[in-house]
Amino acid sequence: HYTVDDGLPSNNIYSINADRDHVVWIGTDLGAVRWDAQGITTFGRAEGLVNFVVTAITYGPSGDVWFATAGGVSRYDNNSFENFTQADGIADNRVQDITQGNHGDLWIATLGGATRIQFAGATEPQIEIFVSKPSYHPGETVSCSLSLSNPGQTRALDIYIALIAPNGALYSLTAQGRWLNDDIVPWAQGLAIPSGANITMHPLVSIHLPSYYPRIAEPGTYAFASAIFDASTSQLIGAVAVAAFQVTE
Last residue of one domain, picked from the residues 90, 121, 152: 121
**Does 248 lie in the same domain as 132?**
yes
Same domain flag for 249 and 137: yes
Question: Measured between alpha carbons, how far is 24 from 112 in angstroms, rounded to an integer?
Answer: 29
Q: Is residue 131 domain-shared with residue 172, that is, in the same domain?
A: yes
Of 94, 121, 148, the position where a domain reaches its end is 121
Domain count, the chain: 2
Same domain flag for 103 and 131: no
| pLDDT tens for each residue of 128-169 | 888 988 899 999 999 999 988 888 889 899 999 999 999 989
pLDDT tens, residue order, the chain (249 aa): 789 998 999 999 999 998 767 889 999 999 999 998 888 999 999 999 999 999 999 987 777 899 999 999 999 988 999 999 988 778 889 999 998 765 567 888 888 877 877 665 667 788 888 898 889 999 999 999 998 888 888 989 999 999 999 998 999 999 999 999 978 899 999 999 998 888 888 899 999 999 999 999 999 999 999 989 999 999 888 767 888 899 998
Q: What is the three-class DSSP state of 221?
A: strand
Q: Is the same domain home to 109 and 153?
A: no
> 34 with 135, same domain?
no
Q: Within this chain, do residues 147 and 193 fall inside the same structural domain, yes or no?
A: yes
Alpha carbon separation from 193 to 66, 91, 198, 199, 249 (Å, rounded): 31, 26, 9, 9, 41
**16 lies in which domain range?**
1-121
In 101-235 the beta strands, taken as DSSP E runs, fall at 106-110, 113-117, 126-131, 135-136, 141-150, 155-164, 170-173, 179-180, 188-193, 197-208, 211-212, 215-216, 220-230
Cα separation of 172 and 164, whole Å? Answer: 9
Amino acid at 85: T
* 126 within 8 A of 200, measured Cβ to Cβ: no
CA dihedral 66, 117, 20, 102 (to 10 degrees): 140
Q: What is the CATH number of the domain that holds 142?
A: 2.60.40.3880
> CATH number for the domain including 100?
2.130.10.10
pTM: predicted TM-score of the whole model, two decimal places: 0.59
Q: 60, 90, 121: which is the final residue of a domain?
A: 121
